[in-house]
Chains A and B, each alone.
Chain A
Amino acid sequence: SQQGEEDPQALSIQEGENATMNCSYKTSINNLQWYRQNSGRGLVHLILIRSNEREKHSGRLRVTLDTSKKSSSLLITASRAADTASYFCATINTDKLIFGTGTRLQVFP
């Protein structure tokens, strides 16, 4: 079963622009994670936000969490061509992660 749904499914922007992707989930969570997947490769963990946090930063990444709306957003500022990838949110059920369907981001030089 999928917990998260990302929106949009696909996003195309120019280098230097900001990219925002959203994730909605269904059940109560203790934390939410974001992962990146470069084309044809495995996933890499980007950032974790706890349920008692509203916003978290890591470099050019900014994650927000609204537990009342059961939603999270990932903002990538000043995007680069190397940010081209799929991005997934994931919530934890005991030790298991439940992934959303992902947003495909294309950054054009």
Chain B
Amino acid sequence: DVKVTQSSRYLVKRTGEKVFLECVQDMDHENMFWYRQDPGLGLRLIYFSYDVKMKEKGDIPEGYSVSREKKERFSLILESASTNQTSMYLCASSLTGRQWGHDPPTQYFGPGTRLLVL
């Protein structure tokens, strides 16, 4: 079974702090994703990585950066946390289009990190 783990389930930080959210997958997936989920807004893509050291902005990248130094690990960084970044953060991974085979990729999600910025 694919396993995607996130470093924390709950996190409380203060405004202005630098925050690191870590995600690790064990299925050798090339694609990894960071989403934030807010009530009434669904899941919104923050950043996407399709290979080591490669990244692509999603719909809401402002205030965030990412790092992918190893294939299995994708980090989301809040350079200076703000209260409007209080949210649920979800990491996911998937095969890439070249690996699809017959079926397009499904995404496998971690359990989420609920971040509160005070």
Contact = CB atoms under 8 A, between A and B. Distances in A.
Given A40-B114, A95-B31, A95-B94, A45 B42 contact: no
Interface in B60-118: 88, 90, 92, 94, 96-97, 103-112, 114
Contacts of B42: 2, 88, 99-102
Interface size class of B (residues with CB under 8 A): 20 to 34
A33 B48 CA distance: 19
Nearest to A43: B109
Given A2-B42, A102-B42, A42 B90 contact: yes
Given A2-B42, A88-B43, A97 B107 contact: yes
Interface of B: 4, 31, 33, 40-45, 48, 50, 58-59, 88, 90, 92, 94, 96-97, 103-112, 114
Given A41-B112, A43-B43, 17 more contacts: A30-B104, A33-B106, A40-B114, A42-B110, A43-B92, A43-B107, A43-B109, A45-B106, A48-B104, A95-B50, A95-B96, A96-B45, A96-B48, A97-B107, A99-B43, A100-B42, A101-B42
